[in-house]
Chains A and B, each alone.
Chain A
Amino acid sequence: DAEITQSPRHKITETGRQVTLACHQTWNHNNMFWYRQDLGHGLRLIHYSYGVQDTNKGEVSDGYSVSRSNTEDLPLTLESAASSQTSVYFCASSETRAGATEAFFGQGTRLTVV
């Protein structure tokens, strides 16, 4: 079955370190997204991609970067982790076909920056 998986599920890192969160989907979707989930803020979009070599900033992109070298993967990199980036991160993917644009989510990565 097609799916979207994130790794690691849990990560503890130190302030200032570079961290990369992986996202892999086998849906063959063109669209991929990274959100962070925080109490009181809901889900906020960090970065997104509509295809290979395409990346775009979301509403909370500062301190994060992504790259899209193939259809299946959209890794999220925290260049220099900060305590404010402690959060739960969700990756999602979706189709471009009309009537089927709902997003499918990964199981989340809980990141703690100490």
Chain B
Amino acid sequence: AQRVTQPEKLLSVFKGAPVELKCNYSYSGSPELFWYVQYSRQRLQLLLRHISRESIKGFTADLNKGETSFHLKKPFAQEEDSAMYYCALRSGGSNYKLTFGKGTLLTVNP
């Protein structure tokens, strides 16, 4: 069975500081990994997916198959980055459901 682990429930940083939200997964195949963000009282929205290898709002994430990780990074945090972040995994093939981690609440202090 697949599993997604986000070890930090809460993460607090100051504006301008680097931020890293950790995500580890367990799955024996070749999964597809995503980061979703949920701003206060809003719907979840896609932030990044590993196959696109792009930077969105200054965030990047690299899939490390050896360490089974997909950590989310931003070199300089902004106050508007404060939100709940979820890492999610799709096992691939004809399986389209997502398995989510428990989420990390990021607070960026002024």
Q: Which A residues fall within an 8 A CB radius of B?
A: 31, 33, 35, 40-45, 48, 50, 58, 90, 92, 94, 96, 99, 101-108
How many Cβ-Cβ contacts under 8 Å join chain A to chain B? Answer: 52
Q: Number of contacting residues on B, CB 8 A?
A: 23
Contact yes or no, B34 A102, CB < 8 A? yes
- Chain A's interface: helix, strand, loop or mixed, by majority? strand
Q: Write the residues of chain B forming the contact surface with A, with a CB cutoff of 8 angstroms.
A: 6, 9, 32, 34, 36, 42-46, 49, 51, 86, 90, 94, 96-103
User: Which B residues lie within 8 Å of A104 (CB)?
Assistant: 46
**Do B102 and A106 have beta carbons less than 8 Å apart?**
no
| Dominant secondary structure at the B interface | loop
Residues of B within 8 A of A103 (CB): 46, 98
28 A-B pairs with CB atoms under 8 Å apart are A31-B96, A33-B97, A33-B98, A41-B102, A42-B86, A42-B100, A42-B101, A42-B102, A42-B103, A43-B44, A43-B86, A43-B103, A44-B100, A45-B97, A45-B98, A45-B99, A48-B96, A48-B97, A50-B96, A92-B98, A99-B51, A101-B32, A101-B96, A102-B34, A102-B49, A103-B98, A105-B44, A107-B43
